[in-house]
Amino acid sequence: MKPKFLVGGAVIAAALAYMIYAGVTQSAVYFVTPSELGSAAVAGKAYRLGGMVERGRGGIVGISSAAGLVGVFGFGAYAPSKYAVRGLMDVLRAEVEAKGVYVACAFPPDTLTPGFETENLIKPPETAAVSGGIKPKLPEEIGAGLVRGIEKDRHVITFDPQTALLAHGGGLVAPIAYRLMDREVRRTPHP
């Protein structure tokens, strides 16, 4: 069991609540949100990472998004920070995993949160068409999946078959995903 985690993203509250309920966390949980990337807040949390490296144990899970795996129409303001979380976790894994610190990145799909409900009120029709066939997950499902991924020492944590395919077959699957999304965007009627 990993005693410390550094997590961030849209479903932190549900995931954290589930992790505490499931007894996964034994001490503090540290948060890094995409908006903090490159800021002093990350530097302070990096100090805690140094403690994990010194002890030779601990864990870091970055919360990206399925939109951090493939560019999606309408997510120009959202997706870049999710790609950044993914990149940060890749670099940290390369730098600290050999020193005993577990590093993973989670890629949740659409999740039924108040933010998601608000997003649905303003998302462009093209984005709605692209994501229309995807059933959003409950926050509790994301929390439980996060715990399972950590317990299984997964470095890439996904929550549905489509995202798993993108995460593990990215270079081969992304062109197909782009073609399908482009088709949906072209078919979307414009007001």
Residues tagged active-site: 64, 78, 82
What is the per-residue burial (b if ≥16 Cβ within 10 Å, else e) of 40-75?
A: eebeebeeebeebeeeeebbbbbbbbbbbbbebbbb
The answer to whether the CB of 6 falls within 8 A of the CB of 60 is: yes
